[in-house]
Amino acid sequence: MTYNRCGNSGLLLPALSLGLWHNFGGVDDFKNARRIVRHAFDQGMTHFDLANNYGPPPGSAEENFGAMLKKDFSGNLRDELIISTKAGYIMWPGPYGNWGSRKYLMASLDQSLKRMRINYVDIFYSHRPDPETPLEETMMALHDIVKSGKALYAGISNYKAPEAKRAFEILKQLGTPCLIHQPKYSMFERWVEDGLLDALEEYGVGCIPFSPLAQGMLTDKYLKGIPDNSRASKAHGFLKANDITPEKLEKIGRLNEIAKRRDQSLAQMALSWLLKDKRVTTVLIGVSSTAQLDNNLACLANRQFTGDELNEIELILKG
């Protein structure tokens, strides 16, 4: 494992971090999830990313991770982990369990800490911007959460460049600089290149892309249809079968040929493609097995691209 400095901070994060968005909830196999977390840590993946609503059901990923912490990471091992969680999407009914109010963010973090059985998280995120709550209120809540000791760093997720810049300015003025931004970013999802990456560099904020494999589309998994137990086959998943279009499959096939020439799997090449940008601190991966985890980790052996490779990839993606 290699570790990269997160923006202008003193924090180092592993080049690959483990996300618990899928495969770690109450509907999933706890023993398998525990194997993945233990194996990830053994491979140097010190950062584990959650959110209040991860599951399903919502909250169950944090509960399961809390059980793993008690079983496998007690004592001083907590000091070897970076644990993050978020609030911003709907978590409980009524007007106080959604979006970006001070009441919601603070109440949600308290609940998350109880579920995980810990006293603090390393990073707490505003999971998405709230169009009806003043940005100053949301950022002040993050600032006060850090000052309270319930989180060591503040982060934001899913903020476009203009609102991200405003958030960075507010946090800077408050004295709690934003540590990191978590956007959706992959070969198939590139809105972050429209000013956000430049803003992160300008303000010294780290970047941790999520869904780097487009929820499995940027792998060889779907080249021959939709396999059983894939994300597209699960009723509770976010990736749907109709997302796997003929046009996407054609691009996946052509990208896969480039990956073969690089002696990589398509997943490995897609991760390497993100890591080639120095503004990307760490890439957040989700896996369903230790074998899949090891396949992803192998991307670290080849993160360099030739100009011809990059040009060919661009032609495919824009075609």
CA–centroid distance for 177 within its chain: 20
- Each of the 319 residues of the chain gets a pLDDT tens digit; together they read 999 999 999 999 999 999 999 999 999 999 999 999 999 999 999 999 999 999 999 999 999 999 999 999 999 999 999 999 999 999 999 999 999 999 999 999 999 999 999 999 999 999 999 999 999 999 999 999 999 999 999 999 999 999 999 999 999 999 999 999 999 999 999 999 999 999 999 999 999 999 999 989 999 888 876 666 655 555 545 566 677 888 988 999 999 999 999 999 999 999 999 999 999 999 999 999 999 999 999 999 999 999 999 999 999 999 8
The distance of Cα 171 from the centroid of its chain, to the nearest Å, equals: 21
Neighbouring CB atoms inside 10 A of 15's CB total 21
Total structural domains within the chain: 1
Q: How many CB atoms lie within 10 A of CB 214?
A: 18
Q: How many other C-beta atoms lie within 10 A of the C-beta of residue 48? A: 25
Which pLDDT does position 241 carry in this prediction?
A: 66
Structure tokens at 190: 């590139």
How much is the pLDDT for 244?
Answer: 81
Nearest residue to 194 via CA among 174, 236, 225, 165: 165
Structure tokens that stand for 131 in this block: 């169009």
pLDDT score recorded for residue 231? 53
> Which uninterrupted H or E stretch holds 15?
none
Among 23, 78, 22, 18, which residue's Cα sits nearest to residue 48? 18
Q: What is the pLDDT of residue 223?
A: 80
Q: Which residues contact 54 (CB under 8 A, 6 or more apart)?
A: 20, 21, 24, 25, 60, 61, 62
Distance of CA 74 to CAs 38, 78, 276, Å?
A: 13, 6, 35
What residue has token string 């970006």? 100
Q: How many CB atoms lie within 10 A of CB 278?
A: 9
* Helix boundaries (H) for 231-289: 246-261, 266-275
Given a contact cutoff of 8 angstroms between Cβ atoms, the answer to whether 89 and 120 are in contact is no
Task: Report whether 208 contacts 284 (CB < 8 A).
Answer: yes
Instruction: Express each pLDDT in 217-248 by its tens digit.
Output: 999 888 876 666 655 555 545 566 677 888 98
DSSP code per residue over 20-84: -SSSSSTTS-HHHHHHHHHHHHHTT--EEE--TT-TTTTTHHHHHHHHHHHHHS-GGGGGG-EEE
| Host domain of residue 101 | 3-318
Domain of 39, CATH number, reads: 3.20.20.100
21: closest CA among 166, 260, 184, 190?
184
Assign residue 225 a region (left: φ > 0; alpha: ψ between -120 and 50; beta: otherwise): left
